[in-house]
Amino acid sequence: MDICILSERNILGSPGWQPIYEFEDLLADMTEGRILAPGAHAPMLGRFIRHRRRQVVFDRLPLPVDTGATPKVLFVVVHNPTALRVVTALPGWRAAFDVVAAFVIEPFLVWTWPKIEADIDHFFVPNAEDIEPVRARTKKPVSLLASATDVLTHADPGVDRAIDVVSYGRMPEGLRRSLQSRFNDSSSDRIYLHSPFGIGKGEGWQLERRLFWKLLKISKVALCFDTTVPGARTMPHKQSLLTPRWFECLAAGCVTAGLRPTESLTPQMLDWEDAIVDLSGDNDKAMAQIADLADDTDRLNMARRRSLGHLLRRHDWRHRIADALEALSLPVPPKLQADLVRLKERADRCHG
């Protein structure tokens, strides 16, 4: 098997896509694949990417050198259906590959390229609710590729955690302000770490992710809220999504607290005790819950071990990659097989 991963990492700049870049890196590593990442150019590029993606001109990439291995697979990873046009960065892309699959992260947004869609063999979506709509639109096989994280690399059961509570991304602004005001006041012995992660693209995002993981691994409680919760970041949709952030925080040894996603996958994927601690909608009550949780060492330690066991068994990207390869009737490479064994062995030691 010869696999290439077509990535938007040199185009998108949002830190929200960094977990997907990690997925792409891991997919390439597990399959000995190659990442292809074109640039793009157009006047006022940022505006075009958000609102007029069809006018972006992608930099051309040469077709990958033929390794002689078969089948030749192109795995396209895009943030929304309009971005499928990134395949035009590879002249003759359809003829060059035996299998073309696309992982569309936000498939509920507008689809605009029926000719490109028709040339793709298989679609993957991260939410169960989108499987049937995408199948009806494309008339192609559609499979679930749910969110996960690199648990094997980042799992941390350590109990030495200096930060009481951490948050990044979407959360209620009122609660954020209250935590900043009270927990980070000079008279408080607590620490609330909020959104220290900037915007990076190209190779710069990897340096920020190193800091991101370091900080999560010394935090007790991580705040996670459904994507439908109003926050500082304006979302282009009102969909409830089970995003990688839940799995990242849990893998790093945090206990997640906030508002769980209402999407249908949540009850079956985060189905163990204290996978999510539900917070009150009242700011004062929520802060009291957070403080009590951060002080409950026994509960934190038990929840951490329990979560790591479940994540190692079920929610590592390697499990998702194996499922995707099976859906495409492709073999599981030896390196991936070995890592799946390592995941099971480590999970068995967690007794989760």
61 in the same domain as 161? no
pLDDT tens across the length of the chain (352 residues): 999 999 999 887 666 788 899 999 999 999 999 999 999 876 544 444 444 444 678 899 999 988 899 999 999 999 999 999 999 999 999 999 999 999 999 999 999 999 999 999 999 999 999 999 999 999 999 999 999 999 999 999 999 999 999 998 788 989 999 999 999 999 999 999 987 554 444 456 677 788 889 999 999 999 999 988 876 555 556 789 999 999 999 999 999 999 999 999 999 999 999 999 999 999 999 999 999 999 999 999 999 999 999 999 999 999 999 999 999 999 999 999 999 999 999 999 876 4
84 in the same domain as 11? yes
165 in the same domain as 309? yes
Residue 244 tokens, joined: 């990688």
The answer to whether 284 touches 181, Cβ cutoff 8 Å, is: no
Q: Phi/psi of residue 148, each to 5°?
A: -165, -165
127 in the same domain as 15? yes
Residue 352 covered by a domain? no
Residue 349 covered by a domain? no
Running DSSP on this structure, what letter comes out for residue 149?
B
Buried b (16+ CB within 10 A) or exposed e, 184-215: eeeeeebbbbbeebeebbeeebeebbeebbeb
How far are the Cα atoms of 43, 51, 59, 322, 335 from residue 56, in angstroms, in the given order?
A: 9, 10, 10, 33, 37
Indicate the number of domains in the chain. 2
324 in the same domain as 289? no
303 in the same domain as 155? yes
> Can you tell me whether residue 69 is helix, strand or coil?
coil
pLDDT at residue number 233: 53
pLDDT at residue number 236: 55
Residue 154: how many other CB atoms lie within 10 Å: 20
Range of the domain at 309: 151-313
Residue 350 covered by a domain? no
Q: Phi/psi of residue 163, each to 5°?
A: -95, 125
181 in the same domain as 65? no
The answer to whether 2 touches 72, Cβ cutoff 8 Å, is: yes
